Amino acid sequence: MALITLRRNICHFSDVWMPGAVATLKNQPASYIHKVARDRLSPWFCSQRPEPFKVRFHHACCKNFHSENGNDLHPVGEPALSQVRDWDQLEQSFQKESGQVFDRRLKDFTSSEEVLSFISTLGTLPEPVAAAALRRICEVENRDGGQNLTQAIRTHRVFQALCLRFEQEASRLSDTGLLTALQALSMLRLDPQSSLILSLVAECQDRLKRGGLGAHHLCILGESLVRLQDPGCVTLERILYQLQSARLETLAAEDIVAIYKILQACPEKVDRHQSFLNRVNRVSLSVVPYLSPTSISEVLRALVVLDQTHALPLVLKLGRYVVRHVPHFTSEELRNVLEALTYFGYSDRFLTKALEQHVAGLRLSVDWEVASKVMDYCSRKEILSKPILDVAAETFIRHSEKLSPGQIYELIEPFGKLNYSPPNAPAVFRKLENVLFTRFNYFPPKTLLRLLHACSLIEYHPVNFMAKIFSPFFLQRLQGEEPYLDRLSLALVTQLFLTSILECPFYKGPKLLPKYQVKSFLTPCCSLEIPMDFRLYKSVVVGLIDLLGARWYFASKVLTPYCYTIDIEIKLDEEGFVLPFTVDEDVHKRVALCIDGPKRFCYESTHLLGKEVIKRRHLQLLGYQVVQVPYHEVEALRSRLELVEYLQRKLFAQNSIVRW
């Protein structure tokens, strides 16, 4: 069959345009054309009975047509010969295709233009086909993370014809067609106040009030309304109440995800729906294996917003599947996942290993947003992962100019908190110093203070910025509009000042005024010290009493004049005799016994955190003999006698006997 190029135009009415009638219509008056159109289109415009939704496109070998009054069509230019036989064959072949075959054909198209070009070759477009076409356009437009429908597609004649028919015939659509169209259009981010969206939403709300929508359609409706950013909690609550009578076990995974999104849109109403949410959490356990990476991220985010801290079985199962999907998350999804897992206190070595492989595999090409979020997760969970930290250091050196102050903080702060210096630490901190010199005033005061404090934890002291930090002007900026400085900021500034005295004797700049100095770094909240592990403390105390002979030979929780609190202090005279803790004269040496429980170390390791390392450095510089008693060494002891011998070796390693 010869190839003939046809110029296709969309008609303003929905009947099949008969190419062979072009010449006849040209010679007839407008009223005649209107009569013929009315007779042919009676199923659309005259009949009051619901008819199957059909969009009919105009195919003719002619130039453009236009309508002056919305009904009368006037041909412009000379008509060309039609290909009635080829057109009839096309319609007949299409009618033979099933919906599944048509869906498969749609899935072969990789662009919206291809979809629109294909459906423009079809004479009659039934409702399911039109809805499927919209859904496919939505899929290809969102495939690459597009945020809005392109202008070329918005103004495409076929797309406009589809939208026009969905708007005009909303009341005649089936539930599936109506909800599919609304879902697709909401994902295409059309204007929520457009007449098309308003028409579809109004029809959906009418059907919702009548109670005729099934559970699947209710999920689609709720999710679409949430996506349109105008959910209306009244409508969403009506959806939730109708869903409560549904059998959740029969719903697909995407429907369960939609329910979480609906509940997430009205978190203030979650208390009255908690029993229903508990059912959803239980059912979700069975659908986790079928969730996509995007869905896993969405569910975890919803659980955080809804504060489902009691849904730990679901969180644990989601966490196990997160490990499998780490390479497939987008930056935003990975951020949501890591924030949620941190919120619920979840972490395991398999997840850490997966993150290490993901970040190390990308290495030079790693997205700096991904690196910062992974570092933030490691910092919050106190996970010392050298491969991740090393990649983060390289990422900072390459991208420091385009990072925001908050992102710089997320990349650098974990080095201090986890007490780790990367192999290229000198280059990292030189780069950081250059960034601070050029952008100092752009950093929020609290972010800047915490960043500089993190550097001092691993002995990269910000000497060049201390004068600015201790100045009243910076402290006023730090206070902002609050009536007073918060306790944590004061503690950080005080420890930086103590660092300048003990570790930077060459610093000769301004000092921190006494009114800004705290008395103790150990506070119930926002503490720069980690309290003792009480169970470990009790065990050590029993051994010390056996070793020293009495309880009055040592003191517990001693606050020094330098803001630090010593777990156990033992005083020795010049000859090495142990003195009672009440004696202050003739004290030659003070022993600071550090009872280090698991919380003072990085997660599942024996590597001390930065805040504990700086405390030991400062105590040694102040003249204390620092003795560390870590939990893993004490737990390895099998008897009370072994504990006493262990403490004797720790405290009096240079003496053959103990004297008191």
pLDDT above 60 (res 550) = yes
Whether 130 and 18 share a structural domain: yes
Q: Is the pLDDT of residue 496 over 50?
A: yes
Paired residues of 558 in beta bridges: 566
Domain finish residue from 346, 377, 403:
346
More confident residue, 57 or 467: 467
Residues 158 and 251 in one domain: no
Whether residue 19 sits in one domain with residue 126:
yes
How much is the pLDDT for 655? 53
Q: 346, 364, 393 — which closes off a domain?
A: 346
pLDDT at residue 42 tops 70: no
Angle at 427 between CA 426 and CA 433, to 5 degrees: 90
| Contacting residues for 520 by C-beta, under 8 A, at least 6 apart | 559, 563, 565
Q: What is the pLDDT of residue 497?
A: 96
E-assigned strands of 419-564? Answer: 555-559
Q: Are 569 and 500 in contact (CB under 8 A)?
A: no
Please, which pLDDT band fits residue 152 given cuts at 50, 70 and 90?
confident
Same domain, 63 and 160: yes
Q: How large a percentage of the chain has pLDDT more than 90?
A: 48
The per-residue pLDDT for 465 is 94
8 A C-beta contact, residue 82 and residue 4? no
For the chain, give the mean pLDDT.
81
How far is the CA of 368 from the CAs of 401, 403, 611, in angstroms?
12, 8, 27
Q: Say if CB 452 and CB 462 are below 8 A apart.
A: yes
The pLDDT of residue 437 is above 60: yes
Asked whether residue 606 is assigned to any structural domain, the reply reads yes
Among candidate residues 295, 314, 346, the one where a domain is terminated: 346
Which one, of 55, 219, 198, lies nearest residue 133 by Cα? 55
Q: Please give the average per-residue pLDDT across 15-28, as a whole number.
A: 34
Q: What is the pLDDT of residue 123?
A: 66
Q: Using the 8-state DSSP alphabet, how is residue 391 labeled?
A: H
- C-alpha distance across the termini of the chain, in Å: 112
Nearest-angstrom CA–CA distance, 215 and 424: 57
Confidence of residue 268 (pLDDT cuts 50, 70, 90): confident
pTM: 0.72
The first and second tokens of residue 117, run together, are 């070009």
In the block, residue with structure tokens 């250059």: 434
Lowest mean pLDDT among 170-174, 230-234, 408-412: 230-234
Is 362 within a domain?
Answer: no
* Choice between 15 and 311, residue whose per-residue pLDDT is larger: 311
Q: Does residue 218 belong to any structural domain of this protein?
A: no
Confidence at 33, pLDDT banded by 50, 70, 90: very low
The encoded tokens of residue 255 equal 């429907």
What's the token pair of residue 232?
Answer: 């209306």
Residues 159 and 291 in one domain: no
Both tokens of residue 213? 């929508």
Higher pLDDT, 15 or 154: 154
Q: Which of 135-139, 339-343, 348-352, 634-638 has the lowest mean pLDDT?
A: 135-139
Which amino acid makes up residue 372? S
> What pLDDT is stored for residue 463 in this prediction?
93
Cβ proximity of 302 and 264 under 8 Å? yes
Which residues, at least 6 apart from 295, have a Cβ–Cβ distance to it below 8 Å? 253, 254, 257
Residue 545 in domain:
yes
Residue 117: domain span: 8-166
Question: Based on the domain organization, do 153 and 13 belong to the same domain?
Answer: yes
- pLDDT at residue 69 tops 70: no
* Range of weakest confidence among 151-155, 158-162, 283-287: 151-155
By residue count, the chain amounts to 660
Look at residue 60 in the predicted model and tell me its pLDDT.
35
Q: Which of 330-334, 352-356, 460-464, 646-650 has the lowest mean pLDDT?
A: 330-334
What is the C-alpha separation between 131 and 529, in angstroms, rounded? 61
In angstroms, the Cα distances linking 386 to 53, 91, 185, 356, 398 are 61, 65, 46, 9, 19
Residues 150 and 271 in one domain: no
Q: How confident is the model at residue 330 (pLDDT cuts 50, 70, 90)?
A: confident
How far is residue 384's CA from residue 417's CA, in Å, rounded to a whole number? Answer: 10
Same domain? For 645 and 544 the reply is yes
Q: Is 67 helix (H, G, I), strand (E, B) or coil?
A: strand
Average pLDDT rounded to a whole number, residues 155-178: 83
CB 74 within 8 A of CB 196: no
pLDDT class of 413 with cuts at 50, 70, 90: very high
> Are residues 34 and 147 part of one domain?
yes
Average pLDDT of span 236-257: 91
What three-state secondary structure class fits 54? strand
pLDDT for 619 equals: 96
Q: State phi, psi for 597 to the nearest 5 degrees.
A: -80, 180
Note whether residue 502 is domain-resident.
no
Which is higher by pLDDT, 566 or 80? 566
Average pLDDT over residues 254-260: 94
Residue 124 has pLDDT above 80, yes or no: no
Predicted pLDDT at 99: 56
Which residue in the block uniquely carries the two structure tokens 């969309």?
10
pLDDT at 73 over 70: no
- Distances in Å between the Cα of 629 and the Cα atoms of 43, 187, 439, 560, 601 are 88, 59, 43, 20, 12
Residues 566-577: what's their mean pLDDT?
92
13 & 143 share domain: yes
Tokens for 315?
């969180």
- Considering only 111-120, 298-307, 390-399, which range has the smallest mean pLDDT? 111-120
Cα 177 from Cα 160, distance rounded (Å): 17
pLDDT-based confidence at 181, cuts 50/70/90?
confident
Residue 600 lies in a domain: yes
Same domain, 155 and 252: no
Q: Does residue 572 sit within a domain?
A: yes
DSSP of 167-188, one letter per residue? HHTGGGS-HHHHHHHHHHHHHT
**What is the 3 state secondary structure string of 279-314?**
HHHHHHHHHHHHCCHHHHHHHHHHHHHCCCCCCHHH
> Could you tell me which of 121, 119, 93 has the C-alpha nearest to residue 4?
121
- Does the structure show a pLDDT above 60 at 520? yes
Most confident of 29-43, 62-76, 225-239: 225-239
Minimal CA–CA distance to 157: which of 222, 245, 66? 66
Determine the pLDDT at residue 272.
87
Q: Which residue has the higher pLDDT, 191 or 486?
A: 486
18: region left, alpha or beta (phi > 0 left; psi from -120 to 50 alpha): beta
Residue among 249, 358, 239, 344 at smallest CA distance from 299:
344
Q: What is the rounded average pLDDT of the residues 59-87?
A: 37
CA distances from 173 to 103, 242, 381 (A): 19, 22, 52
Cβ distance 482 to 596 under 8 Å?
A: no
Q: How many domains does the chain have?
A: 3
Q: Alpha carbon of 607 to those of 384, 428, 461, 643: distances in Å?
A: 8, 22, 21, 23
- For residue 454, tell me if it sits in a domain: no
Give the dihedral of Cα atoms 259, 262, 265, 266; nearest 10 deg: -90
Least confident of 174-178, 532-536, 603-607, 631-635: 174-178
Among the residue ranges 333-347, 350-364, 585-599, the one predicted with the least confidence is: 350-364
Residue 19 and residue 154 in one domain: yes
